[in-house]
Structure 1
Amino acid sequence: MKVAHVITGLGVGGAEVQLRLLLRELVGVRCEVVALTNAGEVAEGIRADGVGVTDLGMRGNRDLGVVPRLVRFIRAGRFDVVHTHLYRACVYGRVAARLAGVRAVVATEHSLGDSQIEGRPLGAGTRALYRATERLGAGTAAVSTTVAERLRDWGVPADRIHLVPNGIDPAPFRFDPAVRAAARRRLGLGRADYVVAGVGRLVPGKRFDRLVRAVAANPGTYLLLAGAGPERGNVLRIAAQSGAADRVRIVGDADGGPGVPAVLAAADLFVSPSAEEAFGLAVVEALAAGLPVLYAACPAIEDLPPQDAPGACRTGGSAEEIAAAIGRQRAAGPVRLAVPAAVGHYHIAHTADRVMDLYATALASARKK
């Protein structure tokens, strides 16, 4: 089987990293990836894994010239299945696949919120275009029950929606005291310092500004943010204005800092302040690292029985509520928890199995037509 994965871009983000993990698990499938634009840092990793990546150089949301380029790519590759990821790639990818003669087209809906999709408001036009192009595919994979319910509310027929939760490889996140000590030394943190971690794109919707204010309200508490994005400058300004500039560090692979597993190893608590998530992958990664977790919204946890993630606790989303929750957690003392059942439930191998089932269903449907 030969599969083309079409994605909007390959900068660092949850959907992009999820695609790289999935590609490693699709045994017996020949895959190629095409990015409409911005074949960035994750593209380099995918290429290093041995999978080809093509950048179509799309100049903007309305660059219709990308369609014939994508049609030529799909035809030349003689793909059996086209798998699209993220809104723009789903819209253009479904159209291009149909024009290229490929009917086995599936999509993964990574980022559908109540009021926005990938940061863009959910206006009538956005909804209409989504529904119209969704019908051109064989079905849509929802990364959580929450996203599946949102798709149904949009009018996507239930029999076209397939639950395929995101997954992680737990191994890199397994707690290692030596990694913790090395990361703390590198970041200038003492052994006894209390450290909060946050992970994600530095964009307004993630509400890291509130987390900075919450940490600033807890004297002696440090914050490590692993991520990049347009809000970086604003986050650092808020840290300075709050008197916590020396206690807030933005780190990541891109600037030569420690990666996410090392950041989580260095931390004592993980906080996700985002009000709207489609899944909440970073929370699952934190649980795999044995961290207690505070979250404002996380379908990955909310879709499971409470006993599957006993270390995760929902908190209010205001800076004051987050600050109080951090204070209570710190008062209880640093703790490393046993890895909960939720982590095994969301293993990337299970995700790959469901994706393979979806490909088989799409191919069978295409043959009938």
Structure 2
Amino acid sequence: MRVLHVITGLGIGGAEQQLRLLLRHLPTDHDVVTLTNPGAVAAGITADGVSVTHLGMAGNRDLAALPRLAGIVRRGKYDLVHTHLYRACVYGRFAARLAGVRAVVATEHSLGARQIEGRPLSTGARALYLAGERLGSATVAVSDTVARRLERWGVPHDRIHVVPNGIEAGRFRYDEPARRATRERLGLPAGAFVVGGVGRLTRGKRFDTLVRAVADLPDARLLLVGGGPERDALLSVARRRGAGDRVLLTGECEDPPSGTGALSLPALLSAMDVFVSPSPEEAFGLAVVEALAAGLPVLHVTCPALHDLPAEAAPGARQVSGAVPELTDELRMHQKRFTAGPWERLPTPQAAHHYDIARSAERLMAVYTIATRGASDRR
């Protein structure tokens, strides 16, 4: 089966890195088109041996990109087009139809209750999304939570398929030598209590609450992995709270790294002692699952990946409100246990094994089969 994946951009982000990981496990002949920003993940996908084409789209209203994309689909003689992220879903579905490909699958990675891909939901965005959705064969939700949101938006129930995000759990297993080496490289004291977080540094992720909570804990350090527009604002909050020297922002982390010498996400997680996800709105919560696979105790405000499972699947995870006083108290308890010692990693929970990327690839292949058979029947 020949499949063309169309994605809005390939900078470092959850959906982008999830696509790269899926491509490693899908038994298809596939290529990738990125509408914009052929960044680090594009380089990683190319290094994995997959062709990436940059469409060079100038903006949301660059309608000239539509015939260019349709031409790529037509010349590639693809059996199926799979789109990822809002803009790619809109343009990719129309382009596939123009090129005569009727098997079109779209994955909804980032639909929140009040926003999509970090932007507020609007009536116009919803109408355009639904108009394009009717041209496709199936819509994939990355969690049951997203599936319910799609239904409320107006996507028919029988067109929605849940294919959760996945991880390679074995890669995240705690590594003591990696912990020592990573702390030494980052300048973190070997015996320091380190609170960690991973994600794009935007207002919606609410990392400012985590900075404030850690600032109220004497001797605690904060290790934040990710880049984004709120970086300087977060550092400013840390300085005002007297914790400027205890907050470390590493910048973006491509995982697995395609460049030599770059720190991997598993190594960075090994350097942490407790993980916090303060975001009040998530479509899945991949970073939480990865932290659990690394044996970290986790505090999270919301995580659909865990909400969709029994509580015993992730005994090391605890849901919190996200308010700074509560977060500070929770972290203070972890800090006390850490200083009392010995501090041991938790066993990998069932939740981490449940979201295995190979299983996600199998479920996606089942959706592909349904989509291509349906397209053949319509012909």
TM (normalized to structure 2)? 0.95
Task: Return the offset for 1:319.
Answer: 2.1
Matched, 1:299 2:308: no
Which shifted more, 231-240 or 355-364? 231-240
1:208-253 Cα deviation digits (max 9, x unpaired): 1111111111111101111111111111111111111111111144
Q: Report the AA paired with residue 324 of structure 1.
A: D
Counterpart of 1:353 in structure 2 is: 362
- For 1:120, give the aligned amino acid: R
Give the alignment of 1:255-266 within 5 angstroms: 258-266=263-271
Q: Residue deviations 1:268-312, cap 9 Å, x none?
A: 000000000000000000011000000001000111000100000
Of 342, 352, 368 in structure 2, the residue corresponding to residue 343 of structure 1 is 352
| TM alignment of 1:82-97, pairs within 5 A | 82-97=81-96
After superposition, residues 1-369 of structure 1 pair within 5 angstroms as: 1-27=1-27, 29-251=28-250, 252-253=252-253, 258-333=263-338, 334-369=343-378
Q: CA deviation at 1:172?
A: 2.0
For 1:301, give the aligned amino acid. L
Q: How many equivalent residue pairs?
A: 368
Moved over 3 A (4+): 252-257
Distance in 2 separating the partners of 1:320 and 1:137: 47
Counterpart amino acid of 2:283?
Answer: A
Q: Distance in 2 between matches of 1:210 and 1:270?
A: 14
- Judge conservation of contact 2:4–2:80 (CA < 8 Å) in 1: yes
Query: Cα offset for 1:361?
Result: 0.2
Partner SS, residue 223 of structure 2:
strand
The whole-number CA distance in structure 1 between the counterparts of 2:336 and 2:47 is 44
SS of 1:218's partner is coil
1:226–1:259: 8 Å Cα contact kept in structure 2?
A: no
Do the aligned residues in 1 keep the contact of 2:5 with 2:30 (CA within 8 Å)? yes
> Structure 1 residues 26 and 257 mapped into 2: Cα distance closer, same or farther (>3 Å)?
closer
Q: Percent identity?
A: 60
Q: TM-score, normalised by structure 1?
A: 0.98
One-letter identity of the residue aligned with 2:306:
I
Counterpart CA distance in 2 for 1:45 and 1:87 is 22
Cα contact 2:175–2:267 (8 A) shared by 1: no
Q: Distance in 1 between matches of 2:264 and 2:203?
A: 22
* C-alpha separation in 1, matches of 2:314 and 2:300: 12
Mapped to 2, the partners of 1:31 and 1:324 lie a distance apart of 49
